Amino acid sequence: MKSKLYFEYPNINHTLFDKIVDETKEIGYYNLPDVCVDDVYEKISKFADKKYIVVVGIGGSSLGTYAVYNYLKSVKKITTKLYFLESTDPVVLRSVSKKINFDDAVFLIISKSGTTVETVSIFKYLLSNKPLNKDSYIIISDNGSPLHSLALKNDITYFEIPKNVGGRFSVLSNVGLVPLAMIGVDIKKLLLGAKSVKDEFFSKGEIYNALMNKAFMYAKNSHTYDINCLFGYSESFRGFSSWYVQLWGESLGKKQLNSELHVGLTPVGLIGPTDQHSFLQLIVEGIRDKSVTFIKIKNFDFNTEIPDITIEYLEKMDYINNHNFAELINKQADSIIESLINLGDIPLDIIEIEHICEETIGELFYYYELLTSMVAKLIDVNAYDQPGVEDGKKILRGYFN
């Protein structure tokens, strides 16, 4: 993983690093790359013959898993059918249920609190189709939660979510590792990728410099460039974009800890080249309130060529003949990057990954989790709570009482 910045923040205060080091003693996600996952493989072995894996969870309980699945599905042979039930949308619930053979499925009920309304309501629906039993259900939740108690009483396979790991930072915990291992993802390699970024950052390697510059630039210009665009040049990044939007928005949009000032940075997930034909116009000629990070894949490992065919009336397009699609999509990215550099007033950087695999998505997860924590420290917010969503939950409960 390489990170190239087209800006440099001149006044970096390196005491930020010390604050992050101190936080590793309290916040659990920092140390997830070092966990042993042998028990995961052991406990899921009895479900190996199941043909359908259904993840029941919302937000941080499912977005990370979906990001990895979406990222790897084009390069890995995944024979187990994976479905996600996170929305209370009855249309989606009915549609997915029709695709599942309930007798050949295992349902992963994932909720940190054990009381997430979306998850519990879908759980109730599933129980009406498949009663609770140890061959069809897995529960992933906090130790001591209502779901944990349910698992213990009914001998349901249970995996713990560490108390000090928040939902949106939990993809490298059992929340993501269990369903991903069940569909054949090498979770040891996933953690190895994350560990490589962790080790490089805490030993103050190249990633350290990139992250420090980015964190200070984002924080110190948060009232100018308050919209951060993540422009991934592959359809494989669609899931990761959704994960990033939750991580960035829910972690950084807060009142400051020591004041009543509202602060935050707005995440926008874009996919190239599709969004070259839409959102790019706003970046180029709109208000100068956006920074852009491009993510590129160096080696797609596919060499599909554009055929040497001339189409009548389109002869001027023959310049693309005999080039492969991997070269084309990266040149499309490069052309947009160069055009923004030429403008000179849009902060931008590039993350280039070697190729699509478990290690590189693990790197991206840890890179962005670190960056989020660093920016949160600098803008004086708690990255790990979400008080802004609690009032809506209380009001919803009132509707049904």
pTM: 0.96
Under a CB-based contact definition with an 8 Å cutoff, are residues 179 and 189 in contact?
no
Q: How confident is the model at residue 341 (pLDDT cuts 50, 70, 90)?
A: very high
Q: What is the pLDDT of residue 93?
A: 95
Mean pLDDT of the chain: 96
Supply the residues annotated as catalytic: 250, 277, 393
Q: Tell me the percentage of the chain whose pLDDT exceeds 70.
A: 100
Of residues 175, 206, 204, 205, the one with CA closest to residue 190: 175
Q: Tell me the percentage of the chain whose pLDDT exceeds 90.
A: 93
Q: Is the pLDDT of residue 237 over 90?
A: yes
Mind listing the pLDDT tens digit for each residue in 18-72? 999 999 999 999 999 999 999 999 999 999 999 999 999 999 999 999 999 999 9
Average pLDDT over residues 138-164: 98
Burial class (CB in 10 A: 0-12, 13-18, 19+), 163: exposed
Under a CB-based contact definition with an 8 Å cutoff, are residues 175 and 346 in contact?
no
Q: How confident is the model at residue 394 (pLDDT cuts 50, 70, 90)?
A: confident
Phi, psi angle pair for 6, to nearest 5°: -100, 30
Please name the CATH architecture into which domain 2-21+189-387 falls.
3-Layer(aba) Sandwich (3.40)
Look at the domain 28-185 and name its fold. Rossmann fold (3.40.50)
Task: Return residue ranges of the chain for CATH 3.40.50.10490.
Answer: 2-21+189-387, 28-185
Q: What is the pLDDT of residue 10?
A: 86
Q: How confident is the model at residue 389 (pLDDT cuts 50, 70, 90)?
A: confident
Reading the block at residue 396, the tokens are 């919803």
Residue type, 318: D
Residue with tokens 């160096």: 298
